[in-house]
Structures are given as structure tokens and as C-alpha cells.
Structure 1
Amino acid sequence: MLTIENLHASVADKPILKGISLSLNPGEVHAIMGPNGSGKSTLSYVLGGRPGYEVTEGSVTLDERDLLGMGADERAAAGLFLGFQYPVEIPGVSNVQFLRTALNAQRRARGEPEMSAGDFLRLAREQADALGISMEMMKRNVNVGFSGGEKKRNEMVQMGIIDPRLAVLDETDSGLDIDALRVVAEGINRIMRKPDKAVLLITHYQRLLDLVVPDFVHVLAEGRIVRSGGPELAHQLEREGYSEIAA
């Protein structure tokens, strides 16, 4: 599904990614772990198409299509969802308005009919109920006045409505208490644990991986993947830290 080959990228002329190669197949969850400054968020931003991140070498394909040649909106229409470590607030735009506009823009790009207001509200209510978000919150401005946990749950509602093929989740467990972490993990499993979908889960902590058990764990250090393994690698990192493994 996703194939990254020898990916190099820079920010403000500073090299950050220095030759990443990685493949995700449908039905798989891959976790990326690593110390601060290793390039984890840069990788997610490059995949999402954030401006200011320059790819200097390598290739990325999604379902055999050149991902790097697409704009951010085209990547979303192709099935990529990017979850942010710090979801942004959008004053003046309600969740419902934002999500219906986004969903129908993607449906148009794929040649599908737009979803009616009634069908969309039923879908939004179903996804919001599953994540413990009230419809009153869905009518509020996007993330404005939300707690950290509410922002992350709201992002899972967005993912459930958009229904992507590939989710790239950048430290989606950041700032969550135990209960919110469990709700978000259940959302990831419910929405994305399917044979035609895949997840690239970026995290610092093994606790999320007890709830969303990955097929593979990769350690990123100084812009390169220096170690790969199964779920047991996350437990080793929790015990020993990065210094030995990423050396």
C-alpha cells in the first residue's frame, strides 16, 4: 500500500530524514518510535504534504501512485489521513461544516456523489457516539475550547467520517490520560483495523502499543531507521531506553 524508498528531506536547508525505506501492506499497523529530534514528525509532515518540507531524494508511493507528486488535498482524496500531535483550532468553522465539506470534496475528487445533509448527520452522530463526543460539541468550532483529550477524540471522529485507506498518526497519545488513551485506541482499532487499511503510528510510549498492537516497530534515530522488530521491541525500549538500541 505505502512504499517509502531512500527518503531524504530537509527543513530550512537542514537535513532531517537521511534515507528512510519502509513498506506498509494492507491490514498492517507499523509503529515508529525514537528520541526527540529523530525525524518522526518530519516523516509524518512529508507524507502529508506540509509546506516547508523539501524532499531531496527518494520516492513515496501510495497504492502505486506517486504520493510526492500530489498536493495535500490530492493525498487526502487518495486515502491518506494525517493525525496531528497538536490538533489546530479553527475559529468560526463548526466541526459539522468542516467535516461535511472535507468529505464531499474527497468524494467529488474520486468521482463519487456528494453525501446528503441527512446522511452525513447520521454518519457524524454514529462516529461521535462511538468516541464519546456529543453532537453539541460537533456543532462547536473545530477544537476551540476543547481539552487535549477532546481534541484527540475529535480527531478520531474526523478519521471515522473520512474513512481513509492509510492513517499516519503523529503522537496521537500525547497529553492523554488513561481513560482518553483507551477511547482513542479503541477508535483506531475500530476504524482502521481492517484488511484493506493500514496505520503508521508515531509514538514515544509503549503504553499505546499495548492497546493498538503493531505488527512491526521501527526505531528512528538521526533521520534513519536503525532497528525494526515486532511488538516486543517496544517493551525493550520501555525497559532500556533509546541509548543502547539507537546507538
Structure 2
Amino acid sequence: MLLSIKNLKAKVIEDDKEILKGVNLTINPGEIHVLMGPNGSGKSTLSNVIMGSPKFEVTDGEVLFEGKDILNLDTNERAKLGIFLTFQHPQEIEGVKMRQFLINAYRHMHPDEKVSPIELNKRLNKLCEEINLSPSFLERYVNSGFSGGEKKKSEILQLFFLKPKLVIIDEIDSGLDVDALRDVAEAINKLKTEDMSILMITHYQRILKYLHPDFVHVYVNGRIVHTGDASLAEEIEEKGYSILNEFVDADTVKGW
């Protein structure tokens, strides 16, 4: 298995509030998993805890990546192992061009790979073409003045250029129009490799019209309460999360 999460519990350090209440999840190489759930259920917290955000403290459980305990590793060390997290709201970095940023990041993530700057630039230009971005995009400062769609495409460009093993995509469909959403989904379908796994966090089923997940997990009140295939997402879109009443107890559904 690539990622193994067992009974993971975590709290916000600032207010001592428990957000993750016993998450269990296994992801194997090449699989696409979708995590769906109501607002405020802790989906983004899970992604941040996997990535090592200092805002949260793990109080119980384990997170293994390729069999290695990563909970004591810094975020940059987890990234070097091959974990990548996209952001809902990417930060702007004035003065740093996309091309410079990506090539430097690649060198740090793949220090043993001997590849020339010319080859890396060729890869970047080709990826821009496949994602429907002008190569001039690479000469702009990171996320500075980007539209919502450009920021999402920037995240897609980064993840496929850096070639991580596990990609956590946090609500990349929010704020996108239909055309931009289709472009993003098509890029994921086109560029995903057989050994790259994806954990996609979303509120909506609409991006799943273009993707084909292996598993759909419903996440409520800090834990996964039910798992199914792609048809589960369609059922939730049609009927809402009330369909899960038969799988969870009253304390879990409280506050949906």
C-alpha cells in the first residue's frame, strides 16, 4: 500500500478542538479516491495533517507512507517522499517566476536525477500545451494576478511536473466554470500515470463526470462513515447526505 491511515485523531492547536476523530483510509498505487462530505466536516484538515501542517496536533493513530511513519517529518520531508497537496487558495509569490519556482522545486524533489535545464524547460513547455496554457505563463510570478482558473491550472502544472507518488487535490473544482473544470479534469486524465495515486477532496459530484474514481468515501464529523464506488457520488448528488442515515448513528449525523 502507498498510504495507510489508522485511527487518526487530531486537534487544532490554537483552540484545542478535535477535528479528526478516528480516520481510517488505505490508498494503493495508481488508485483514485474521492473524499466527499458536508462543509466543516474536516476534509481539508485531513489533507493538512497528512502534509504536516503545524496548525494541527495528532493525538492518536498513525500515518504510514510506503510503510514509513511520517508523522514526525516536516512538510518538506514529506514532499520529498512524494506527497503533493494542492491548495484551495494558492499563495501569491511576487518576484518568483513560475519557471524558476518549478525547476528549483524539481531539483529538490529529485536530487539524484541528472537532467539538464534544457530538458526541464522542454517538459514544462509541453505540459503547458497539454493543460491549455501559453508558455508565457511560465514567465509570470507565482499566482500573482492569476484568475481562479489559472490558479487551478497552475496547481495541475506543478503536480504533473514534479511527479509525486500521492497527490491530494483539495477542492480544485471550487470556483471553476464548466469549461475550466473540464480542462482541469481532462488534464488529470491525460497526465496521470499508473503509479500515481490521487486523493480528491470535493463537495460536489460534478468533476466526477469527467474522472473515474476507484473509491468514493463519505466523510462526516471527522471520520469516514461509508465507502462505495463512483455511483455513490451520483446518489449523494441526487438525494443528499441523508442517504447515509442507515450507516451512521445519531451523534454522527448531528449538525449536518
- Establish whether TM, by shorter chain, passes 0.5: yes
Aligned to 2:248: none
CA distance in 2, matches of 1:178, 1:73: 34
Say whether 1:99 aligns with 2:119.
no
Q: Residue type of the partner of 1:173? A: D
1:9 and 2:10 are equivalent in the alignment: yes
- Conservation of the 8 A alpha-carbon contact between 2:96 and 2:141: yes
Aligned to 1:201: 200
Q: Percent identity?
A: 48
Alpha-carbon distance in 2 for matches of 1:143, 1:26: 30
Give 5+ residue unaligned stretches, structure 2.
Answer: 246-252
Q: How does 1:135-154 map to 2 (within 5 A)?
A: 135-154=135-154
C-alpha distance in 1, partners of 2:93/2:130? 23
Equivalent residues of 2:84, 2:166 under 8 A apart: yes
C-alpha RMSD over aligned residues? 1.2
Gaps of 5+ in 1: none
Q: How do residues 104-183 of structure 1 correspond to structure 2 at under 5 angstroms?
A: 104-108=107-111, 111-113=112-114, 115-183=115-183
Matched residue of 1:68: which SS?
coil
In the alignment, what sits opposite 1:19? 22
Give the counterpart letter for 2:147 in structure 1.
Answer: S
Distance in 2 of aligned mates of 1:188 and 1:99: 18
Instruction: Supply the AA of the counterpart residue of 2:177.
Output: D
Cα deviations across residues 77-110 of structure 1 (Å, max 9, x unaligned)?
A: 11111011112211111101110110001112xx
Counterpart residue number, 1:187? 187
Instruction: Give distance in 1, aligned partners of 2:104 and 2:223.
Output: 37
Task: Quote the offset at 1:245 in angstroms.
Answer: 1.7
Listed as ranges, the matches of 1:43-82 within 5 Å are 43-82=46-85
Structure 1 residue 191, shift from structure 2 partner? 2.5
CA distance in structure 2 between the aligned counterparts of 1:116 and 1:51, rounded to whole angstroms: 35
TM-score by length of 2: 0.92
The answer on whether the counterparts of 1:24 and 1:30 sit within 8 Å (CA) in structure 2 is yes
Contact in 2 for aligned 1:219/1:227 (Cα 8 Å): yes
The answer to whether the 8 A contact 1:133-1:154 is kept is: no
**Paired position in structure 2 for 1:85:** 88
Q: Calculate the TM-score normalised by the size of structure 1.
A: 0.95
Q: Stretches of 4+ moved more than 6 A in 1?
A: none
Structure 1 position 42, deviation (Å): 0.3
Correspondence 1:28 to 2:31: yes
Question: Residue 249 of structure 2 corresponds to which residue in structure 1?
Answer: none
